[in-house]
Amino acid sequence: MRSIADAPVGIELWFDFASPYAYLSVMRIEEAAARRGLAVAWKPFLLGPIFSAQGWESSPFVLQKQKGAYVWKDLARQCRKHGLPWRQPSAFPRGSVLPARVALWGGGAPWVAEFCRQAMRLNFAEDRDIDTVEAVGGVLAALGLDADAAIAQACAEAHKPLLRRQTEAARAQGIFGAPTFMVRSKMFWGNDRLEDALDFAAGLAAPGPARA
């Protein structure tokens, strides 16, 4: 029986489509991972239940006004730094259930990465609602997919529990925010740890003695 240490090394990106810092990572991770020969596993989940378990009724960026004011300035700077389009969302945090369900249903399909990027772009570059059939369907159609069929499948009773289970899995691993990167059992939290997580994964994948 093959152990986890024998499995190909990649990186898991745990994110919520409503998270502005996850936007930065979603837009950059695939190219950065490819330079290191790493695959990305897309792990959408919902931050709302995670925050509720900590006694928060909303995002800390909403509950803590000074932090929230800083965050929007910081995000504008970070987007300029990385050459990403940015428009501060007029509604925050936005609902993200539908895009999360579609991305989770898509699993490892080739279109999932671009779907995630385009859905994030709607929210944080175009200031548009992303939790509607029209918005999600538009992204799917632009990718050449049957939008109606994909949304119907993602929202079918058989698939609805997947998002709840994914969010429970995030909490079980100790994930408390987004983006979070998992490399096997090692956690790296926050967009500013993306490069660290990728370098760690690349080190595990490189020939030589195993690293802890």
Please list the active-site residues. Answer: 19
Alpha-carbon distance values, 49 to 52, 57, 148, 154, 164 (Å): 5, 9, 28, 20, 9
Amino acid at position 171, single letter: R
Q: How far apart are CA 11 and CA 38, in angstroms?
A: 7
For 192, residues 6+ apart whose C-beta sits below 8 A from its C-beta are: none
* CB 163, CB 97: distance < 8 Å: yes
Strand partners, 186: 183
